[in-house]
Structure 1
Amino acid sequence: MAVNLTLELTAEEGTRSRHRFTLPDGTVVFLRLPRGTVLDDGDILTDESQCNFMKIFAKPESVLTVVADTALLLRAAYHLVNRHVPVEITQNYLRLSPDPILPTSFVKLGLEIKEGVVPFQPELGAYGTHQAH
């Protein structure tokens, strides 16, 4: 299997089941995926002819990364869950889309907030999505 196309998607774009994308070389790609499909970094798609393969990459996007010891990260996660915020969870940090209110709250809790532009891969919720409500 030779991958001949690549597509960078933001976390939100990876949840779209029907969408038109234009690749950097001008190639137009139409995605028609089953509803509820979430594309993640490293996924490989094929076209209807099974002749062309496209690899999905997580596109760098603006994020806030929350860094602290485990107990403070758990407190921060609790606040994020209450707001239905899509969040990427690791052992060392929580990552979320930029937000006008949360950084101030987190600093008051003693958490360190770092802004950056990196690939963002939030956890899927209990219903298989990571879209904010």
Structure 2
Amino acid sequence: MRTLDKRIDPHVKLAAVLVKRAPTLTLAYGERCRSRLAATLDNGDEAALLLPRGTILHDGDVLVAQDGGLVRVIAAPEAVLFVTAPDRLTLTRAAYHLGNRHTPVEIDVDALKLEADPVLEDMLRRLGAHVEHATLPFQPESGAYGGGHKHGHDATFAEDYALAQQVYGEHHGHEHPHEHDHAHEHGGECEHDHCHDHTHGDGPGHGLGHHSHHAYR
């Protein structure tokens, strides 16, 4: 089993021939968010991911094994909702409401992409957006304050929210602690239609393809 414990900085330019010859590891988004994972390379070799906590892999990332070998990451196609709109305002409103639910979203100039979810699909249609089911690689936006795969109930969400408020206060020259009336923090009834009962890795779109992955212990 090959142990992959380093990711090469994306800004480092590697010889194209080395990257092309490197074996590949195809992972869905939920798997690319895990720093500990036992997986099978596309050539059939067994591998173990042992990356720093919080590492999120992207399509094209290059990993280094303990034996010095390289492995290239490929984003696996998975079940997603492909969202477009008749005008920019509708698409902006859709992005706002998805962000208000801390939903991982991939943002393009004229489209949004998110993990397939019937509740969110219904919400988007009610907003006037066009929603199509598709099977595509999924690479959502990374968190502006360091996170990349967070929801309101994650332990680190409170830290990011506090940092955001600090930045806001410094920008306006005073402290301005908004009340954050969110069901995840107050434990009350969820104010949104979608309370994120699903867990990534087990929901639609995860683990698709012919590779078998399981938690590495």
Question: Is the TM value for this pair above 0.5?
Answer: yes
Aligned to 1:58: 75
Contact 1:72/1:111 (<8 A) preserved? yes
Q: Distance in 2 between matches of 1:98 and 1:22?
A: 25
Aligned to 1:127: 146
Between the two proteins, the alignment pairs up a number of residues equal to 132
Query: Higher relative CO (CA 8 A, sep ≥ 6), structure 1 or 2?
Result: 1
Bigger share in strand? 1
Which range moves more in the overlay, 22-31 or 94-103?
22-31
Q: Distance in 2 between matches of 1:63 and 1:114?
A: 8
Q: Is 1:31 matched with 2:49?
A: yes
Q: Is 1:10 matched with 2:28?
A: yes
Deviation string 1:25-52 (CA, Å, 9 cap, x unpaired) is 43111010011111100111111232x1
Amino acid at match of 1:22: T
- C-alpha deviation, 1:108, in angstroms: 1.7
Q: Distance in 2 between matches of 1:13 and 1:75?
A: 29
Say which one has the larger Rg: 2
Cα 1:39/1:62, change in 2 over 3 Å: same
Superposed, 1:1-133 pairs within 5 Å as 2=18, 3-50=21-68, 52-68=69-85, 69-125=87-143, 126-133=145-152
Task: List structure 1 runs of 4+ shifted beyond 4 angstroms.
Answer: none
Aligned to 2:169: none
Q: What is the SS of the residue equivalent to 1:127?
A: coil
Gap runs ≥5 in structure 2: 1-14, 153-217
Cα 1:39/1:89, change in 2 over 3 Å: same
Q: Distance in 2 between matches of 1:4 and 1:77?
A: 37
Deviation string 1:80-114 (CA, Å, 9 cap, x unpaired) is 11111110011110100011211122112211001
Contact 1:12/1:131 (<8 A) preserved? no
Q: Distance in 1 between matches of 2:44 and 2:27?
A: 16
Amino acid at match of 1:129: G
Gap runs ≥5 in structure 1: none
TM-score, scaled relative to structure 2 = 0.58
